[in-house]
Amino acid sequence: MPKTTKRQKQLLKVQETVTEPISAEDALKILKKEHTVKFDETVEVHFRLGINPKLSEQQIRSTVNLPGGTGKEVRVAVVAKGEKLAEARDAGADHVGAEDLVEKIGGGFLEFDKLVATPDAMAMLSKMGKLLGPKGLMPNPKDGTVTYDLLRTIKELKAGKVSFRAEKDGGLVQMAIGKLSFDDSRLLKNLAAVVDVINKVKPTTVKGTYVKAVYLSSTMGPGLKLDINSLQELGKYLAA
């Protein structure tokens, strides 16, 4: 049996101590207190939703603009045609091209975090589903990455727009909301934006409890269960 490390024992102790759901503010204090590693940990939120993703009308896929940003540089690649190529470059895209970029991607080039395509260029990516789909990189109209509005889209992606979807097994939605080095108000503002969107995309066919559980965690820290009722108070951070 593998030996339990000192850090694992400490995390287990924290989770045994915090036995009741807590506010997001208190959860962040604990995560920052338990931060002992040398790198800047990512803070993540995990929602367990009362949906059945196997039903098409209860599949959730959307985007959220994180007002506090993500804390990481987002590399954007754009597949387009004609004058849209110059527009993408002027908007700050890191990689721009047409058939040449598609061929490069097919050869294994994946040095980007988001791939955007204009509608008239999607045909060039038609055979890339098996490569890009599993990595979450295939452009999709539902998350705004198939568009002619390249200036706005690239700006939003670089500023902190992230896409999310409910997993098919268990209705789990999880996403990063920033870095542990962010001040609390910045992280709470991002969390408030996520909670707001999660509530807005609730399928009309869902019966019973929609948000069943919410956890806040960091890369190497404990997973802390949040008080769902207190999440409704986070709107004050968006108004600030």
| CATH, domain 19-70+161-239, list 3.90.199.10, 3.30.190.20, 3.40.190.10, 3.40.50.720 | 3.30.190.20
Strand intervals (E) in 76-209: 76-79, 95-97, 114-117, 161-165, 172-179
Residues 228, 210 contacting (CB under 8 angstroms): no
H or E stretch at 214: strand 211-218
Q: What is the pLDDT at residue 12?
A: 66
Counting as low any pLDDT under 70, the low residues of the chain are: 1-4, 6-13, 15-16, 240
Q: Which fold has domain 76-159?
A: Rossmann fold (3.40.50)
Q: How far apart are the first and last CA of the chain?
A: 51
Q: What is the pLDDT at residue 186?
A: 95
Q: What is the pLDDT at residue 36?
A: 85
Q: What is the pLDDT at residue 54?
A: 85
- Name the residue ranges covered by the structural domains of the chain: 19-70+161-239, 76-159
Q: What is the pLDDT at residue 6?
A: 66
Q: What is the pLDDT at residue 140?
A: 92
- DSSP 3-state percent helix, strand, coil across the chain (nearest 5): 40, 20, 40
Report residue 236 as tokens. Answer: 């004050």
Q: What is the pLDDT at residue 98?
A: 97
Cα gap 211→162, rounded to integer Å: 20
pLDDT tens, 132-187?
A: 999 989 999 988 999 999 999 999 999 989 989 998 877 899 999 999 999 999 99
Note the pTM of the prediction, 2 decimals: 0.81
Rounded to the nearest angstrom, the gap between the alpha carbon of residue 29 and the centroid of all alpha carbons in its chain is 22
